[in-house]
Chains A and B, each alone.
Chain A
């Protein structure tokens, strides 16, 4: 047990710091650390920033070298993410491509598929979106009804996806579709890679409670993709889709913790400024949030140690997801408490406009976090059944 860097880790950390101090300058530095995959503020500059990262192979740093990666191990990835967060570098928008699709592609893709898609993810020439949820397939994801039928050397896709973040920005979508007619549940699904720029794809924005519209409904009406653009075996899409969800719940929270720490610090500063920090209940709340964000760090380090030793994170990633999403939701509520009457006002509203300050952004966007990537109730099922070995509920 030792929480200090090894000499190799320290040297790697220095390399990252040097790169960031050289490149994170000017308009890139001005972006600050805010935002996220579901946040379009400063879009063009953020794209340019990500291309700068990609140019020096900091996009795809965990990939094998033959596909342009640096083959970095988990510890190195975490060190990069720590330094990235400490430097207040812009939140990443290539999350769906780099964070979710690429690891799935590396695990399940053919050499041709990897060679085709990975370089474009790294150069940030192609963005991806996730075609999972449907109106009748939310927590019960295996209930997808979108169908794909072979027509010569193409798949023809019909159906509707929903809550598709950044569909309007993405060039590609990874789609879970039913390829076996008459199949139900987990069977008969395939994981298709579908180009978004075609007549059979219609995107309608959905406005969220935050006022902005990062996610969408996506309608496939005889949309087409090439027959060879199936990831994994035809009919084996459920396993591939679950692997992606594993990455989504996986290691992201380890670096997220640093962003959360910063948010908490801002809430504490506001409380100190307006005098709330002198109130006993507020002090209890802030100390409790501090405990939570530190425990998140300790949990992350324990999980990382386990990950390095065993190579897979497994269902215990659900513990991390459940923890951070609840913690963040509570922070949002406490931020409102700290603001007091200032919480009654937003940055601007009226005439179709509704713009939030940072604390309101946390307060509202955190309501989505206990829902996406598997709602908290689903995470508790996973923990109960796959970690604790409790019997499945009747289905």
Chain B
């Protein structure tokens, strides 16, 4: 048994941390979140060309580096610390995993090298206006038309939907329901009949879109009607990635709180000397450390691709969601009035925590899913 990162993994963390600190200062986050695209294409290119982050867990035969989810988790944790504004989650956690899980060898060979090189920004469109994260939420029907497939309907909350060159879409064949009949398709971002609308997001650091499909020609990805197990696995893997991102953010706000509690003086002494504040920080540390344990363990399970993954993914998503939100909420309280201002970064993390909690299903959803998965 060994629950430690290897020396190489620690080195990767150092490299990514330095990069993210340099490229994603608070000032830069604020600049990007106010733009429509919400990311810096130069930084995206550097991530690919200098650090190879987009290709990290793509197998070598498809232009990647063949690392595991543990390395990927490190990258997400570091990005989460600094709220890096980037289509990385959409491209790597969602689209890449969907292609890896659902695609044939030929499809992977066609789609993944572009992602690995940083040329292709991609996303996964599966949520709809009904806001559900399960199989029943997918109502978009794919119909065959003259030997090809055509999509009609609306996808919502599509992360970086306006930025994506490549959209992986989950739809169902007519007359099916639940987990049966779900298929994947790919559509180009500029496909005819596709209308993309940027949404006004509560968390400005991660962009979302509404995608309206009107007779959009789509290319099948994987076997028709057999997509649910690949989608379910993709959502578990993405939950693992998001859990690690949340753990990174939670650690960052804890550090922010502790630092402030040491220097802010009231009643003639630092507020961190009062138990009311000290005990809040202690509880935050317990939750942050626990969130990291859960997130890291889930990354290992995802890397091993073992039978534990579904349980561990839901466990990790539920725990990290609650821990991150709690940490960001306490961070505002510990900072007092200044923590409520637009100028202070506390609200950026508070909003990111809430949006991350809701994306892919909130803690309540994942506890119920977990109950089912452990046979309660």
Contact = CB atoms under 8 A, between A and B. Distances in A.
Interface string B297-335: 100100000000000100100110000000000000000
B273 A393 contact: yes
A172 B307 CA distance: 50
B342 interface: no
Contact of B262 (A316, A383, A389): A389
A347 interface: no
A355 interface: no
Interface in A291-323: 291, 294-295, 298-299, 301-302, 304-306, 309, 316, 319, 322-323
B367 A393 contact: no
A264 to B, nearest CB: 10
A2 interface: yes
A377 interface: yes
Interface residues of A, number: 50
Contacts of A384: 272, 278-279, 281-282
Which has the most chain B C-beta neighbours within 10 Å: A268, A298, A301, A381? Answer: A298
Interface string B244-270: 000000000000001001100000011
A317 B75 CA distance: 28
A379 B367 contact: no
A57 B262 CA distance: 49
A323 B285 contact: no
B285 A387 contact: yes
Interface string A271-284: 11000010010011
A277 B376 CA distance: 7
B319 A291 contact: yes
B279 A389 contact: no
Nearest to A4: B1
A206 to B, nearest CB: 29
A319 B281 CA distance: 12
A2 B1 contact: yes
Contacts of B283: 380
Contact of A283 (B4, B262, B274, B376): B376
Contact of B278 (A1, A288, A291, A381): A381
A52 to B, nearest CB: 28
A383 B371 contact: no
B371 to A, nearest CB: 4
Contact of A392 (B273, B282, B285, B374): B273
Interface string A322-357: 110000000000000000000000000000000000
Which has the most chain A C-beta neighbours within 10 Å: B6, B270, B370? Answer: B370
B2 A390 contact: no
A242 interface: no
B273 A291 contact: no
B286 A383 contact: yes
Nearest to B275: A393
B3 A319 contact: no
B100 to A, nearest CB: 21
A284 B273 contact: no
Contacts of A390: 258, 261-262, 270, 272-273, 277-278, 281
Nearest to A6: B1
A283 B371 contact: yes
A385 interface: yes
A271 B270 CA distance: 48
A391 B279 contact: no
Interface stretch (B54-62, B151-159, B288-296): B288-296
B34 interface: no
A318 to B, nearest CB: 8
Nearest to A5: B1
B1 A287 contact: no
B5 interface: yes
A295 B294 CA distance: 6
Q: Give the size category of B's interface with A.
A: 35 or more
A391 B272 contact: yes
B278 A385 contact: yes
B367 A284 contact: yes
Interface in B1-51: 1-6, 9
B262 A323 contact: no
A75 interface: yes
B202 to A, nearest CB: 25
A268 B5 CA distance: 35
B282 A379 contact: yes
A3 B3 contact: yes
Contacts of B286: 319, 322-323, 383
Contacts of A306: 4
Contact of B281 (A9, A298, A388): A388
A108 interface: no
B177 interface: no
Contact of B294 (A277, A286, A298, A389): A298
Contacts of A319: 285-286, 289
Given A2-B2, A384-B272, A388-B281, A290 B290 contact: no
A5 B2 CA distance: 9
Contacts of B315: 290-291, 294-295
A374 to B, nearest CB: 13
B5 to A, nearest CB: 6
A290 B375 CA distance: 12
A319 B287 CA distance: 9
Interface string B77-101: 0000000000000000000000000
Interface in A351-387: 377, 379-381, 383-385, 387
Contacts of B201: none
Contacts of A309: 4
Contacts of B275: 377, 380-381, 393
A217 B277 CA distance: 36
28 contacts: A1-B9, A1-B70, A1-B300, A3-B1, A3-B2, A3-B297, A78-B1, A271-B376, A272-B376, A277-B376, A280-B368, A283-B367, A283-B376, A294-B294, A295-B290, A298-B3, A298-B294, A298-B297, A302-B292, A319-B286, A379-B282, A384-B281, A384-B282, A388-B285, A390-B277, A391-B272, A394-B269, A394-B273
Given A1-B5, A380-B283, 12 more contacts: A272-B376, A283-B376, A291-B315, A291-B367, A295-B290, A295-B319, A299-B293, A301-B3, A302-B293, A304-B1, A389-B262, A390-B273
